[in-house]
């Protein structure tokens, strides 16, 4: 039997799964506390040992807060919004979005958001390049030594990169996220962000004393899960929705069937449509994020149990999932009073998958029933969806295996 161990090093728990690559079956899984107080390799090695080891090792990580991304764009409703959507799809937590020419105040706000990576975008190919060049210059002279991915106007992006390189800022140049109005091309920037995450961010978080951990990690955990969601959507041929309720954040993934009218017709979005998307809500969780969940639930007029009631864990998870789904479907506003953008039409979703510790340990039906019966949140819930719990946590493993061992990855998502 040829095997692989797939490990997700989270901020709280490190989860390992031993996969039979020939049959595409989960053989054994283990879960241990993440040893972030010392060296995360201690917990990783323990988890691998508990499943018995394997022929190959695949690791993804969201420890240390995962990947923090700032987006610097040209215009808030177009290229900055396009960059925001691409950043989320790359497995990042977007901690700041700036639009227009950066000034001193803008640079200060950017620095205070403490990004791990900056995605610099702006202009369609052949369009105005002045803002992209201006922002590259401001970043270069700001003494912010954060890696920058330049994914803007093809006519000037090399010059923008040169201005950053002159000041020894780590730079990666890739394809424009919005080459034409209404055409969103996330692939090149998503790959570049992943590469920068692996080369610069993992080691910079000081999660481990040596280089071995950084050499093992292949992706940010949300990026691996999204790859698994995409595979599931490709296999089923219909819309898929995944809600993952964690201790600190609640992530929502949706893979929708492309709509020709929304792609190129009168309902086309000027910032482009991302048919496979993810949002992360950093204020919604059931452990360290519980206070944020309570505050958000109150703002959304959702009832919650009293703080500290152990019997209320399911209700807390349901509130986190409901608020996260509302935000995912309704989209977001770049500033108070601005129109919402980036919303998702989830009415035709046919499969809803629940994930996260509370859902896997008995709360899945309660949480998903609450989500699908939410008719007061300003979004239209799926009307004909089947629900399932990723109780064995196979989506992340399938995402990590999807390139090298597609047969096994397909079998894993089919087990859902």
Residue 75, pLDDT score: 83
Sheet holding 250-255, edge to edge: 276-281, 250-255, 239-245, 349-355, 386-389
Q: Using alpha carbons only, give the angle 20, 406, 398 rounded to the nearest 5 degrees.
A: 65
The pLDDT, as a whole number, for residue 108 is 96
- 408 neighbors 26 (Cβ within 8 angstroms): no
What are the pLDDT digits (tens) for 249-305?
A: 899 999 998 865 555 544 555 555 577 888 888 789 898 889 999 999 999 999 876
Q: What is the DSSP letter of 15?
A: E
Among residues 114, 164, 105, which one has the least CA distance to residue 134? 164
Q: Hey, which bits of 267-380 come out as E strands? A: 276-281, 332-333, 340-341, 349-355
- What b-and-e string marks burial along 294-327, b requiring 16 or more CB atoms within 10 Å of the CB? bebbeebebebeeeeeeebbbbbbbbbbbbbbbb
Average pLDDT for residues 92-115, to the nearest whole number? 93
pLDDT at 208 over 60: yes
Query: How far, CA to CA in Å, does 398 sit from each of 31, 240, 241, 294, 390?
Result: 17, 15, 16, 33, 12
pLDDT for 5 beyond 60: yes
Please give the average per-residue pLDDT across 186-204, as a whole number: 88
pLDDT attached to residue 259: 66
> Residue 266: its pLDDT value, please?
46
* Res. 12: pLDDT tops 80: yes
């Amino acid at each position: 039997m040829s095997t692989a161990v797939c490990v997700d090093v989270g901020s709280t728990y490190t989860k390992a799964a031993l996969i039979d690559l020939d049959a595409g079956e989960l053989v054994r899984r283990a879960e241990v506390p993440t040893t972030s107080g010392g060296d995360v390799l201690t917990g990783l090695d323990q988890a691998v040992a508990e499943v018995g080891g394997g022929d190959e090792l695949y690791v993804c990580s969201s420890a240390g807060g995962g990947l923090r991304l700032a987006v610097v764009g040209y215009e808030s409703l177009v290229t900055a919004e396009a960059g925001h959507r691409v950043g989320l799809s790359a497995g990042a937590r977007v901690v700041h979005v700036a639009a227009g020419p950066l000034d001193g105040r803008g640079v200060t706000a950017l620095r205070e958001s403490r990004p791990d990576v900056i995605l610099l975008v702006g202009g369609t190919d052949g369009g105005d390049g002045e803002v992209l060049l201006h922002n590259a210059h401001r970043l270069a002279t700001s003494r912010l030594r954060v890696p920058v991915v330049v994914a803007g106007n093809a006519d000037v992006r090399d010059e923008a990169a040169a201005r950053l390189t002159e000041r020894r800022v780590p730079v990666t140049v890739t394809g424009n996220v919005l080459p034409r109005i209404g055409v969103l091309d996330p692939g090149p920037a998503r790959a570049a962000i992943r590469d920068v995450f692996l080369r610069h961010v993992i080691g910079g978080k000081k999660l481990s004393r040596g280089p071995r951990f950084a050499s093992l990690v292949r992706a940010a955990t949300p990026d691996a899960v999204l790859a698994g969601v995409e595979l599931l959507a490709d296999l089923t041929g219909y819309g898929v929705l995944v809600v993952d309720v964690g201790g600190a954040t609640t992530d929502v993934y949706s893979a929708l069937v492309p709509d020709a009218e929304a792609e190129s017709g009168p309902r086309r979005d000027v910032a482009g449509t991302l048919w496979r998307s993810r949002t992360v809500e950093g204020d919604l969780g059931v452990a360290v994020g519980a206070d944020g969940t309570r505050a958000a639930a109150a703002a959304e007029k959702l009832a919650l149990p009293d703080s500290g009631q152990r019997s209320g864990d399911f209700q807390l998870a349901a509130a986190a999932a409901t608020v996260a789904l509302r935000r995912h479907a309704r989209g977001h506003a770049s500033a108070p009073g601005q129109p919402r953008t980036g919303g998702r039409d989830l009415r035709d979703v046919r499969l809803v998958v629940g994930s996260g510790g509370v859902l896997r340990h008995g709360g899945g039906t309660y949480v998903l029933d609450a989500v699908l019966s939410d008719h007061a949140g300003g979004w239209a819930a799926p009307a004909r969806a089947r629900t399932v719990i990723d109780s064995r946590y196979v989506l992340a493993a399938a995402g990590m295996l999807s390139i090298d061992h597609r047969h096994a990855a397909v079998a894993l998502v089919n087990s859902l």
